[in-house]
Every structure is written in C-alpha cells, then in structure tokens.
C-alpha cells in the first residue's frame, strides 16, 4: 500500500500543468512552446495569439473545470451511495441537467452562468427520480448498487430522448446541436463560460471539502453513520445537492461528458487515498488532467474533424465500467 505523500500532490499538479501545456500545443496546427510563450505575452503572429489566447487557453481552462467538477461529483456520490459504480452521468443526473439546460436554451437562454440554474434543477429532478425508484425497489435507497444504477441509466436514456425531441428543429448551423449536448464538447469554449463554471466549481468544491468527513462516515452505512453522530438524511441530501450542482453546471457549460466521475476517484483510491477530503481534492486534480488530455485526443485523433469529448471519455470509461462491474458483488 502506497501512502499518499506530499510528492504525490506535487506530481499530480505537475501532470495537470503538463496536460494544460499539451492542450495549448496540440490541435489543428501544432504550436511550439516558444510560440505559445510569446503569444501568451502578446507578441508574435496575430493568428497564433488569437488561437492560443482566445481558442485554446479558454478551452483548456473549461476542460479542466469540467474534469474537476465531474470527478469531485463522482467521488462524493460514490462515497455517499457506497457504490463504486456511481457517477453523475450513469445516475442520470447529467442527463436531467441536460434536459433542463436544453429546455432553457430553447427558450432563448444562452449564457453558461444562467443555464447552470435550469441544469441544476434538472439534475435534482433526475437524482430524486432515481432514488425514488431505488427506494421503491428495496427497503433502503441504497440496497443493491445496481438497482440505483439501472434506474439512473434509464433516466439518462429518457433524458436523451427528450433532448432529441427538443432539438429536432434546432438550426444545424449552431454548434450547440443535439450532438453537442449529448456527446459533450469544450470546442466552443470562451473565457466567460470557463470563468462561470470555475465560479460554480470553486464554491461547490469548497463546500464538498467541508463535508468530506461526513462522507467518510456516511460511506460506512446508514446505521454506522448514525452511530457516529451523522444526521444521515440531512447530510446525504446536502451532498447530493452539491454533487448535482457540480454536474449541472458542467452540463450547462459542456454538455454530457460521461465516465469521468467514475474513473477518476478509482484512480485516486488506487494511489492509496481513502479519506474523502483527500479523495475529493485529488479527484479534482486528476479529473482536470484527464479531461484536458481527452480533449487533446478529441481534436487530434482524426484530423481534420474533431471527435466529441464525451465520445473519447466513453471510449476510456466503458471498459473501465465493465471491469468495475465484474468486480462488484
């Protein structure tokens, strides 16, 4: 067993910075590190400055926020539900958020910051529906991990159908078509969008870190948590709300990006992190790194076209999910 030490955190941070650099270097055209440095400083070729400052840098920032948010949300949901397969996308939380965002978008709401609110409402509705189904199926809402998951997957499928119907007549010239929402993308990232998401992620992340001990205790099970002084229902609801806010804000900014919330907490646990304060913080770092790199793959794998970000994360995530499912009891 490896004990998490200071150098692990430094290594994770270094990895994140390297991924960010890769996000600036690679794309339709490769830009050298020297050119990036001068472009960031405002000198050099005008086109390069525009690409680096207005296209790639906000894109990297948005991808980092998306990854951090989804991974933190997944870490919290897995702990509270005591379910190693839980994550916002598979639980239908992201799907519900997408419905909320798409409906608001269809009614003319365009700004990422305000779209996050209907997305949050959709996320809450989805998580409530999944929990109600699971509760009806078993004596406790968290009986069999697979019941909740099945409910979530079906709610997600329903959400996809609603989005397709809602966007059936959407103009195809906008990048925010149904594919954008359903497969996720950070391709049209702007600084405004990235900063909005950063605001939500920052606040929700701090709240989640403050709740981390509560998650440690809830992860022991309902009775043990109550025995340790946890107000189980209240604490669970609070953590669900924050996780749904993270997922909802992400969906408003970048559509549906699956499996990040599943994979990342497992990676961090495999590094020897067990308590949730470190798990949530570590997941934010690794999640940001993973999504930046997934986005680099998305824009460079099959030139000249770009892959949807959600397709890349699903290609990594599905085998991982199946592996975890085979291991689960």
Binding site for other proteins (CB under 8 A): 1, 78-79, 82-84, 209-210, 213, 216-217, 219-224, 226-232, 269, 274-275, 277
Q: Provide the minimum distance between the beta carbon of 231 and other proteins in the complex, in angstroms, as a whole number.
A: 5
Least distance from C-beta 96 to other proteins, angstroms? 25
At closest approach, how far in Å is the CB of 268 from other proteins? 11
Minimum gap (Å) between residue 8 Cβ and other proteins: 16
Token readout for 213 is: 């001990």
Cis peptide before 189 (omega within 30 of 0): no
Q: Which is nearer to other proteins, 163 or 286 (CB)?
A: 286
Q: Which residue's CB is nearer to other proteins, number 9 or number 26?
A: 9
The number of C-alpha atoms within 13 Å of 42 and in the hemisphere containing its C-beta is 0
Quote the CA–CA distance of 177 and 59 in Å, as a whole number.
19
* Rounded least distance, CB 32 to other proteins, Å: 43
Q: For residue 73, give both structure tokens.
A: 């949300």
Structure-block tokens of residue 114 = 């305000």
* Nearest distance, CB of residue 213 and other proteins, angstroms: 6
Min dist CB 103 to other proteins, Å, is 36
How many Cα atoms occupy the beta-carbon half-sphere of 272 within 13 Å?
8
204 or 217: CB nearest other proteins: 217
Q: Cβ of residue 85: shortest distance to other proteins, in angstroms?
A: 11
What three-state secondary structure class fits 264? helix
- Residue appearing with tokens 């998580």: 127
* Chain centroid offset of residue 89 CA: 8
CB of 38 vs other proteins, minimal distance in Å: 42
Q: Which residues of 285-295 are buried (b: 16+ CB within 10 A; e: fewer)?
A: bbbbbbbbbbb
Spatial neighbors of 23 by CB under 8 A, at least 6 apart, are 56, 59, 60, 63, 292, 293, 295, 296
Minimum CB distance to other proteins smaller for 207 or for 297: 207
Q: Which is nearer to other proteins, 103 or 226 (CB)?
A: 226
Q: Which two tokens stand for residue 256?
A: 């549906």
Q: Per the structure block, which two tokens stand in for 26? A: 């690679």
**How far apart are alpha carbons 278 and 25 in whole angstroms?**
31
Nearer to other proteins, 80 or 93 (CB): 80
188 vs 222, which CB is nearer to other proteins? Answer: 222
Q: Which residues are CB-neighbours of 289 under 8 A, at least 6 positions away?
A: 12, 15, 16, 19, 64, 67
Q: Is the Cβ of residue 61 or residue 273 nearer to other proteins in the bound state?
A: 273
Nearer to other proteins, 45 or 223 (CB): 223
**From CA 276, how far away is CA 280, in angstroms rounded?**
6
Cα angle for residues 11, 213, 287 (degrees, 5° grid):
35
Kind plus residue range of the DSSP H or E element containing 244: helix 232-254
């Amino acid at each position: 067993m490896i004990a998490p030490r200071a150098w692990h955190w430094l290594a994770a941070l270094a990895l994140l910075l390297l991924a960010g650099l890769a996000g600036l270097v690679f794309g339709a055209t490769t830009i050298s590190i020297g050119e990036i440095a001068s472009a960031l400083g405002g000198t050099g070729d005008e086109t390069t400055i525009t690409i680096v400052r207005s296209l790639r840098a906000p894109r990297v920032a948005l991808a980092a926020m998306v990854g951090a948010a989804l991974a933190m949300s997944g870490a919290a949901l897995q702990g509270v539900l005591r379910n190693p397969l839980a994550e916002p996308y598979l639980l239908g939380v992201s799907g519900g958020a997408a419905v909320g965002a798409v409906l608001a978008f269809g009614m003319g709401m365009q700004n990422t910051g305000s779209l996050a609110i209907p997305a949050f409402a959709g996320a809450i509705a989805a998580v409530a529906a999944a929990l109600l189904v699971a509760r009806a199926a078993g004596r406790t809402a968290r009986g069999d991990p697979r019941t909740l998951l099945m409910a979530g997957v079906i709610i997600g499928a329903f959400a996809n159908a609603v989005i397709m119907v809602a966007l059936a007549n959407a103009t195809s010239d906008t990048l925010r078509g149904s594919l954008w929402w359903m497969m996720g993308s950070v391709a049209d990232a702007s600084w405004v969008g990235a900063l909005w998401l950063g605001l939500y992620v920052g606040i929700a992340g701090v709240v989640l870190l403050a709740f981390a001990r509560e998650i440690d205790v809830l992860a022991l099970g309902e009775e043990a948590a109550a025995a340790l002084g946890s107000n189980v229902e209240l604490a669970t609801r609070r953590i669900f709300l924050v996780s749904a806010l993270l997922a909802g804000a992400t969906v408003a900014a970048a559509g549906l990006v699956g499996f990040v919330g599943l994979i990342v907490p497992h990676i961090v646990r495999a590094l020897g992190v067990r308590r949730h304060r470190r798990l949530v913080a570590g997941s934010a770092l690794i999640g940001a790194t993973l999504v930046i790199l997934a986005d680099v793959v998305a824009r460079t794998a099959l030139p000249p076209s770009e892959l949807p970000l959600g397709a890349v994360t699903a290609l990594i995530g599905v085998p991982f999910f199946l592996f975890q499912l085979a291991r689960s009891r």
